[in-house]
Amino acid sequence: MSSAYQPSYTTYQPQHQSRRRYYESRVKESLTSRFAKCLCSFFLTLLLIVGVIIFVLWLSLRPHRPHFHLSSFTAPGLVQSTGPVNSALSFNITDRNPNGKIGIYYDSIYASIFYSDKEMGSGPVLFPFYQPPKNTTVILGTLTATGPTTTDSAWDQFSADVAAGQVKLIIKLTSVIRFKVKLWDTHQHRMHVECDFTVGKDGNILSQYADERCTLYF
């Protein structure tokens, strides 16, 4: 207090009280804020631990997609000069479930074979089935080729490719799959598999394309 300042008793008292109240509230405030900080860091730690647990669970239970490999393909009728009409297109695709604990439910698998963007044949190749963990299922398909024929626009290129001994083909598989994790069934995924390969003059797959990994789209 400066000597120049002479507060009256009546004004000094409330001022003193209000200052005390002010310090008291400051202490209360710092106590509550310390408590809030404590609670906050407790919940943050809890959240972090729960997050790590969920992440580890997700890593160990996360379903991996099945792997498809084109093992063999043969189309003996491909060499005919009038086109592969009513020729059998046979293939062997292996379907591996790489998951150790997760099974896969498949709807029927439907296959189509394409030369360029011309569909040569299509049809169902497998009934609905359940694939256990770490299982390899062999998909054997035999479709009937209905083209390309001499009247198709793709014919000239097709017969030239046959003569050259390199015909690029594509097998597409479609299905709907569902993963079965021990604790719960996951939702459905529409599945598209594409195997691109080349066959030779004899209608058999060229050796460098055998056992190629097929592409999988969900």
Ligand X SMILES: *[C@@H]1O[C@H](CO)[C@@H](O)[C@H](O)[C@H]1NC(C)=O
Q: What does the binding site for ligand X look like in residue numbers (CB under 6 A)?
A: 71, 92, 94, 131-132, 135-138, 140
Q: How far is the CB of 104 from ligand X (least distance, A)?
A: 10
Q: How far is the CB of 199 from ligand X (least distance, A)?
A: 16
CB-neighbour burial class of residue 119 (10 A; exposed 0-12, middle 13-18, buried 19+): middle
Residues 166 and 146: beta-carbon distance below 8 Å? no
Q: How far is the CB of 72 from ligand X (least distance, A)?
A: 6
Residue with smaller CB distance to ligand X, 24 or 211: 211
Residue with smaller CB distance to ligand X, 94 or 186: 94
Q: How far is the CB of 155 from ligand X (least distance, A)?
A: 31
Distance of alpha carbon 207 from alpha carbon 73, whole angstroms: 10
Distance of alpha carbon 166 from alpha carbon 205, whole angstroms: 9
Q: How far is the CB of 97 from ligand X (least distance, A)?
A: 8
Residue with smaller CB distance to ligand X, 43 or 130: 130
Distance of alpha carbon 209 from alpha carbon 73, whole angstroms: 10
Residue with smaller CB distance to ligand X, 78 or 104: 104
The H-or-E segment that residue 113 falls in is strand 109-115
| Planar angle of CA 17, 23, 28, nearest 5 degrees | 120
Residues 64 and 99: beta-carbon distance below 8 Å? yes
Q: How far is the CB of 65 from ligand X (least distance, A)?
A: 17
Residue with smaller CB distance to ligand X, 7 or 132: 132
CA dihedral (139, 140, 142, 148) positive or negative: positive
Residue with smaller CB distance to ligand X, 74 or 146: 74
